Amino acid sequence: GDSVTQMEGPVTLSEEAFLTINCTYTATGYPSLFWYVQYPGEGLQLLLKATKADDKGSNKGFEATYRKETTSFHLEKGSVQVSDSAVYFCALRGYSSASKIIFGSGTRLSIRP
């Protein structure tokens, strides 16, 4: 079945460092891909999404490109801030199910001042 694998955390970086969180997926057809973020004590918020190959989703300085050839959707940010500390979830919504989102295990990111 469809699945998402993302890099294990926790990831700890200094402020202004470059961030990459790796995400790969397994799915039939052409899924839509998402990054959700969960700030401490809050729910899941959509960070960005891409619905077809080579699409780039972007928001709040974060970017991810839908790479069908490598089945990847890595999250990047050029200069992280303390306020980016959160748990980041890569996710997909496949064609086999119009309903459910399948999440990765989440990556906890901590940014040091």
What DSSP letter does each residue of 2-56 carry, written as one string? -EEEE--S-EEEETT--EEE-EEEE-SS--EEEEEEE-TT--EEEEEEE-STT-E
15: which 2 tokens? 């402020």
Instruction: Tell me: does residue 1 bind other proteins (CB under 8 A).
Output: no
Instruction: Tell me: does residue 68 bind other proteins (CB under 8 A).
Output: no
Instruction: Tell me: does residue 103 bind other proteins (CB under 8 A).
Output: yes
Q: Of these, 31, 64, 75, 109, which contacts other proteins (CB under 8 A)?
A: 31
| List of residues contacting other proteins (CB under 8 A) | 30-32, 34, 36, 42-46, 49, 51, 89, 93, 95, 97-106
